[in-house]
Structures are given as C-alpha cells and as structure tokens.
Amino acid sequence: MKKHHIRRIDQFERVARYIFSNVGYTFSARSVADHLEKKHISIDNETVCSYLDRLEKAFLLHRCSRYGLTGQRILKTRERFYPAGTALRYSALGYNADSMAAALENIIYLELCRRGYSVHVGKIGDMEIDLVAQRRNERLYVQLAHRTDPPRTEERAYDSLFRIRDDYPRYILTTDSFAGGDHEGIRTMHIADFLLSGEF
C-alpha cells in the first residue's frame, strides 16, 4: 500500500478479503465491485483490477486464467485467484472448517506450480475442470472433491472429466479414507497420496 500510494485502505482490504474468501471460484472485477456496492462501498472495475494487480505483483496472489479446452486458448474473463500460502487466508479471515475444500485446492494449485506446471482452470462446454496443468508436452486434469460421499458431488466431478477426449491423465482428488481406483480412465486418489506421488 505504501509503495503504490494506496489511500483507500478500507477499499483495498475489502477487495483482498473478498479474494481470500472466494478461493476456488471464478469471478470478474465487475462481480467484486457489485459485491462491495451491496456493502455500500463504491468502487469501479478499474480500481478492482488495479488492486488485484498490486496483490499479484507483491506475490500475495496467483492469477489462474481459464483455458478453453475446445478452442485450446486462454480465456480473458472470469479468473480464479489463489493466495501464495494458505496461512495468508487464515490470517485475514480466521479458521473456518467450511474453508477446508478451498484450502486443499489452493495447496494442490501451489504444488503443481512448484513442480513446473503452468496451471489453468479448464472450461469445456458449460462445465469447468478445477485445474489443468501443462508442462512441455505433458498435461493432467484435476478435479477436487473434498468428499465424494454425496452422489451429486461425485457425479459433477466425473461428468466434466468424461467430456475430455484426449488421453492425458485425469484425476479426482478427495480426502475420503478409502479413495483409490480407476473408473473409465479417471483415477481417484487421496489428496495426500497425490501430493507425495512422483508420477507427475
């Protein structure tokens, strides 16, 4: 804030809090501005974009663009942002058990980046793949399901991966104790096993 002479500290902090509380969701500058307007904080799209840019350049956030799997191109709208560490989110918002899924997605994203992958949110038709990781000629698709117990959660995770027509590895990652196995080319793994794996 000091370096970039940010005077509206309340605005800046509200934008940062919004980002930290919406890890794992795609959104636009307009949706952030609309949310803050409802809280009686007036801010325009350009200012939101400027704040996001400052947070990114300070290495507090990672920008994760959407990638159109059909047209094989980066999409310019509705990105995701991941904090550079889960502790940043906790320091801003405190611990909440409901935030576990977002924290795990954040950890997987950071680990893929650490391993040299370029990571995007995949878009295929009207559905999204949580993480599409590309490294040279390698690619892998990752869907995160904190728990696959509810049938709808499991169906959603599989449905989007079934739409992919190439032969790159596809994973569903979960915290289920007995996660494991393959189903029509989609591998289900416990998140810890995936993080410790040397396969990717």
Distance from the Cα of residue 153 to its chain's centroid: 17
Alpha helix ranges (H) inside 22-165: 29-38, 45-57, 86-93, 100-114, 151-162
Global confidence as pTM: 0.87
pLDDT at 154 (0 to 100)? 61
pLDDT digits (tens, 9 = 90+) for 146-179: 654 455 556 677 888 998 888 999 999 998 877 7
- To the question of domain 61-196 being in CATH 3.40.1350, the answer is yes
User: Using 50, 70 and 90 to split pLDDT, how confident is the model at 124?
Assistant: confident
pLDDT digits (tens, 9 = 90+) for 180-191: 788 888 999 999
Instruction: Please work out, in degrees rounded to the nearest 5, the angle formed at the alpha carbon of residue 186 by the alpha carbons of 137 and 177.
Output: 120
pLDDT digits (tens, 9 = 90+) for 34-54: 989 888 888 988 999 999 999
Tokens of 48: 């939101």
What letter does residue 27 receive in the DSSP assignment? B
Instruction: Tell how strand 138-144 and strand 118-124 pair up.
Output: unpaired
Sign of CA dihedral 90, 92, 96, 99: negative
